[in-house]
Amino acid sequence: MKILITTDLFTTSTNGVVTSVRNLHDELKEKGHDVRILTLSGDRESYKEGPVYYIKSIPIGFVYPDVRMPISYRNRLIKELIDWKPDVVHSQCEFFSFQFAKRIAKLTGAPIVHTYHTLYEQYVTYLTPSKFIGKQFVRQLSRMRLKKVKMVIAPTSKVEAALRGYGIKTDIQVVPTGISLEQHHYRVSAEERQKKRQELGIPEQNHVLLNLGRLGTEKNLEELLEFFAVAVKEEPDLTFMIVGDGPDKSHLEQMAKKLGIAEHMVFTGMVNPSEVQKYYQLADVFVSASTSETQGLTYIEAAANGLPLLCREDPCLKDVIKEGVNGYEYSTEAEFLEKLRLIMENPEWRKKAGAQSEKIAESFDKEHFVESIEDIYEEITV
């Protein structure tokens, strides 16, 4: 089957969309499909590298970091893809590359499958100071885009419910995004773990809380710093390690100083994606206060690395956290502190919870994901 994947993001950043596209491409190719990717280049040049077609673009970072827009929608590479005649166009973004997907599908007769990765209502402050106007824009755009689509893929029932709330009538199937678990099966030795913690200035006796991901307002990291500041007063032998980078990094560092917890914080900045498993395994518990996730691939990565999870209550965690088995959800500061205390005071429970997390993560392996996507392709091309 000839499959064209279109995405605004591919090489400009590492996030859930990029991870999903890479895994989808690799697994479909492994199964013998002819797969090509259409995305935006990082400059004003259009070019092709193997199966990836890059269309010239310009940055519009004033809207959102790393966002780019194409300079033109007519291009020799687009014509090449039209002449190739894909059987299916699988769109991954609602904005610029969707226009390419729509045009190619119209001229070739290929149906469009669209994966709705992001609940943009959580990001409207990047677009307008008015949340009401921003939310109305998101709902209108989603309705307009998805009426052109044969099938919508939602990574969780949370996304499906949101889309139905927008008035979307298109068929929707819930398919959890798969990740490559292979690198997360690697386990650091006790010596390696101790050495790395020393390099980062983490005291040997300290328990480590970890958050990994993009540092943006929508991730609600301010809440975690505030709660952590209270926890440290009760238990000084705690370290909070934040792995990643983003527009909020300097603000969070200043906030840590104001809260008097800077000496208990470790900001690593961006790390090599091939090394993230080592950072997960330096920690004792993964924490998150975000409600902007559609699935939260970092939750699954943390689970795959054998960590218990402590996260703000959210529908996207339905199949990731089993309450009291591999972690806890919280909705208030008091609940966060109570659950953190339970986790830190029970090393045997942490060990068992970590093992349960590993089992849960296995159900999100990319092979299961791609099999479900293949079924959808076959359904809509009959």
Question: d(Cα 342, Cα 379) in Å, to the nearest integer?
Answer: 47
For 318, half-sphere exposure in the C-beta direction (CA atoms, 13 angstrom radius) is 10
Rounded to two decimals, the pTM is: 0.79
Determine phi and psi for 290, rounding to 5 degrees: -75, 140
CB 56 within 8 A of CB 43: yes
Q: Which residue has the tokens 């940055």?
A: 59
Question: d(Cα 223, Cα 310) in Å, to the nearest integer?
Answer: 13
Domains of the chain plus CATH, in order, are: 2-180+365-380 (3.40.50.2000), 182-362 (3.40.50.2000)
Q: Report the amino acid identity of residue 151.
A: M
pLDDT per residue of the chain (382 residues) written in tens, 0 to 9: 999 999 998 865 556 788 889 889 999 999 999 999 999 998 889 999 999 999 999 988 655 566 788 887 778 999 999 999 999 999 999 889 999 999 999 999 999 999 998 877 665 555 555 666 667 777 888 888 898 899 999 998 999 999 999 999 999 999 988 888 999 999 999 999 999 999 999 999 999 999 999 899 989 999 999 999 999 999 999 999 999 999 999 999 999 999 999 999 999 999 998 899 999 999 999 999 998 887 778 999 999 999 999 999 998 898 899 999 999 999 999 999 999 999 999 999 999 999 999 999 998 988 889 999 999 999 999 8
- Strand arrangement of the beta sheet that strand 207-212 belongs to: 265-269, 238-243, 207-212, 285-288, 309-312, 327-330
For 186, half-sphere exposure in the C-beta direction (CA atoms, 13 angstrom radius) is 15
Among residues 280, 289, 165, the alpha carbon closest in space to that of 218 is found at 289
Q: Report the amino acid identity of residue 32.
A: G
